[in-house]
């Protein structure tokens, strides 16, 4: 056993040596030291502002849909661990990966038949893009190498995904000169329930038609733009994209990494539109937040196109592709989700968020409040600077809730198992954070 270390010592080492997401080195903001987690609660190693337990309003970046330390997922991991935690996927295969791929094919839109297992969301987006470029190369149209997306999106932090993130407001604008130059449409008009705007649909069609010769694919987050700003749009725009892509010979990628597995009230956001993409990425909630895993699914046409070309293979193969432990837990997580009335659960959370956030709309400094499925967001009139961000986070912690506001947003994507009382505490903490950021 290693020597025990005090929380203070651990945090000191953390600051000196450990890089955190989107952070500087050494770290400026002291992270909270988590000792364990169960259900929807994070247990801190030492109390902060007198609070030692936090209700998790973030579900660990939207992935821990069943909460922490779940007996069913624990059992799946233990039982797989006793067999093998990993074997290479080149030349070898195993039941957990085969079961998972088959399950994903069954629950995603019908035309998606083939599954590439990747080790993170960003990598699955890289693979999806590679699939599309290679499809056109194999079809004798190597000039089709660019991508089209709408502004306000987020697709990950590796190179190709960064090139289709929002070019202005996003985190990656400093790389504009170095990244592949993609084609951007305006941000889709807001509102899940709004009628599709005819002028915007025309803009999409015209832009896709104009660039058809050089476009490999259109890539979007369906229905919800997540890390780009928690904005919802009409599923009608997905139907418009499908029509335009078919009309002008362009492939369509849906990035369902954040929206998949029920988050928006449909199992996949594409289901709201009844539209099937040519390639779909899933990740985040796929293992219930236990282990890193993602997948890119494609149609038989895309798979055959690639495999019939002069380079008849997809040259991609992460070391930990198809990891048995991750795929075994993913199977358990998806089975657990589908074994109960998840739609009612998400609906219950949606209702709780609408009720709990109704007060927020009346608070000073609030531009809008939106809820869809198990997503609730308060958008402020101006972005949070560092001081207001800290005030908002501290207020949430004092309310016993873990939130991580960003830009002008105080939002939650809680685990689906969050009970009504805990949900009420999350929404109350969001309101308290909003007040503190304005105070
Ligand atoms: C989180 C996210 C990604 C990137 O996934 P990682 O696992 O963080 O690499 C890509 N697309 C969307 C929509 C996401 O929300």
* Residue 156 CB less than 6 A away from ligand 1: yes
Total-model pTM: 0.98
Ligand 1 pocket residue status of 121, Cβ below 6 Å: yes
User: Using one digit for the tens of pLDDT, what is the confidence trace for 362-418?
Assistant: 999 999 999 999 999 999 999 999 999 999 999 999 999 999 999 999 999 999 999
Do 153 and 166 form a contact (C-beta atoms < 8 A)?
A: yes
Q: What gap in Å lies between CA 196 and CA 259, rounded to an integer?
A: 20
Instruction: Quote the DSSP letter at residue 234.
Output: -
Mapped onto helix, strand or coil, the DSSP state of residue 218 is: strand
User: Which position among 166, 278, 284, 411 bears the catalytic label?
Assistant: 284
d(CA 265, CA 375): 10
Count Cβ atoms within 10 A of the Cβ of residue 417 and give its class: 0-12 exposed, 13-18 middle, 19 or more buried.
middle
In the chain, ranges of CATH 3.40.640.10 domains: 73-339
Decide if domain 341-438 falls under CATH 3.90.1150.10: yes
258 C-beta closer than 6 A to ligand 1: yes
Contact 317, 90 (CB under 8 A): yes
154 labelled catalytic: yes
Q: Is 122 in the pocket of ligand 1 (CB under 6 A)?
A: yes
**By the 8 A CB rule, do 360 and 156 touch?**
no
For the cut 80, the answer to whether the pLDDT of residue 1 exceeds it is no
- How are the residues of the chain apportioned to helix, strand and coil, as percentages rounded to the nearest 5? 40, 20, 40
- Ligand 1 centroid to residue 284 C-alpha, Å: 7
Q: What is the DSSP letter of 190?
A: B
Please state the separation of Cα 388 from the chain's center in Å. 26
Lowest mean pLDDT among 46-50, 167-171, 242-246, 308-312: 167-171
Quote the pLDDT of residue 174: 87
Beta sheet of 183-185, edge-to-edge order: 112-118, 294-299, 279-282, 251-255, 215-220, 146-150, 183-185
Q: Summarize pLDDT for 346-358 with one digit per residue, the tens.
A: 999 999 999 999 9
Q: Is the pLDDT of residue 31 over 90?
A: yes
Beta strands 215-220 and 251-255 are parallel
Taking Cα atoms as reference points, which of 361, 370, 353 lies closest to residue 418?
Answer: 353
Q: Among 162, 261, 283, which residue has the most ligand 1 atoms within 8 Å of its CB, making it the best to mutate?
A: 283
Q: Where in the chain is the domain with CATH 3.90.1150.10?
A: 341-438
What's the rounded Cα separation, in Å, for the pair 181 and 148? 10
DSSP 38-80: EBTEEEEEEEETTEEEEEESSHHHHT-TT-BS-HHHHHHHHHH
**Among 324, 337, 318, residue whose Cα is nearest residue 107:** 337
| Per-residue pLDDT reduced to its tens digit, 113-152 | 999 999 999 999 999 999 999 999 999 999 999 999 999 9
Give Cα separations from 357 to 230, 341, 411, 421, 438 (angstroms): 15, 24, 10, 14, 17
CATH 3.40.50.2300 fits 73-339, yes or no: no
Distance CA 238, CA 221 (A): 10
pLDDT-based confidence at 243, cuts 50/70/90? very high
The protein residue whose alpha carbon is closest to atom 8 in ligand 1 is 121
The answer to whether the beta carbons of residues 96 and 80 sit under 8 Å apart is: yes
Q: Which atom of ligand 1 is nearest to the CA of 259?
A: 13
């Amino acid at each position: 056993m290693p020597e025990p270390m005090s929380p203070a010592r651990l945090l000191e080492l953390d600051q000196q040596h450990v890089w955190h997401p989107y952070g500087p080195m050494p770290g400026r903001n002291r992270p909270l030291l988590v000792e364990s987690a169960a259900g929807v609660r994070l247990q801190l190693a030492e109390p902060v502002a007198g609070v030692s337990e936090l209700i998790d309003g973030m579900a660990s970046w939207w992935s821990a849909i069943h909460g922490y330390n779940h007996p069913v997922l624990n059992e799946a991991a233990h039982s797989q661990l006793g067999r093998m935690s990993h074997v290479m996927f080149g030349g070898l295969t195993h039941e957990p990966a085969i079961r998972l791929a088959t399950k994903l094919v069954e629950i995603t839109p019908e035309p998606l038949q083939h599954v590439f297992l990747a080790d993170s969301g960003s990598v699955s987006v890289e693979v999806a893009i590679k699939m599309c470029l290679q499809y056109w190369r194999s079809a004798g149209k190597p000039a089709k190498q660019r991508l089209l997306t709408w502004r306000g999106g987020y697709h990950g932090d590796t190179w190709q995904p960064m090139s289709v993130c929002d070019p202005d407001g996003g985190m990656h604008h400093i790389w504009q000169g170095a990244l592949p130059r993609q084609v951007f449409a305006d941000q889709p008009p807001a509102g899940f329930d709004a009628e599709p705007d005819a002028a915007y649909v025309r803009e999409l069609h015209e832009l896709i038609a104009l660039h058809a010769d050089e476009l490999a694919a259109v890539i979007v987050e369906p229905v919800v733009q997540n890390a780009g700003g928690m904005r919802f749009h009409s599923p009608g725009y997905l139907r418009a994209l499908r029509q335009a892509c078919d009309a002008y010979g362009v492939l369509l990628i849906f990035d369902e990494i954040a929206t998949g597995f029920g988050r928006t009230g449909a199992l996949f956001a594409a289901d709201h539109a009844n539209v099937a993409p040519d390639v779909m990425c899933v990740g985040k909630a796929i293992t219930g937040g236990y282990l890193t895993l993602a997948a890119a699914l494609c149609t038989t046409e895309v798979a055959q196109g690639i495999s019939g070309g002069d380079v008849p293979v997809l040259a991609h193969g992460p070391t930990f592709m198809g990891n048995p432990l991750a795929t075994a837990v993913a199977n358990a997580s998806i089975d657990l989700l589908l074994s109960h009335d998840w739609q009612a659960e998400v609906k219950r959370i949606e209702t709780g968020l609408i009720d709990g956030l109704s007060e927020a709309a009346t608070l000073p400094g609030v531009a809008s409040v939106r809820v869809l499925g198990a997503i609730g967001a308060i958008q402020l009139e101006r972005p949070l600077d560092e001081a207001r961000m800290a005030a908002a986070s501290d207020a949430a912690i004092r309310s016993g809730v873990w939130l991580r506001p960003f830009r002008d947003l105080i939002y939650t994507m809680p685990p689906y198992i969050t009970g009504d009382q805990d949900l009420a505490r999350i929404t109350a903490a969001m309101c308290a954070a909003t007040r503190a950021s304005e105070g």
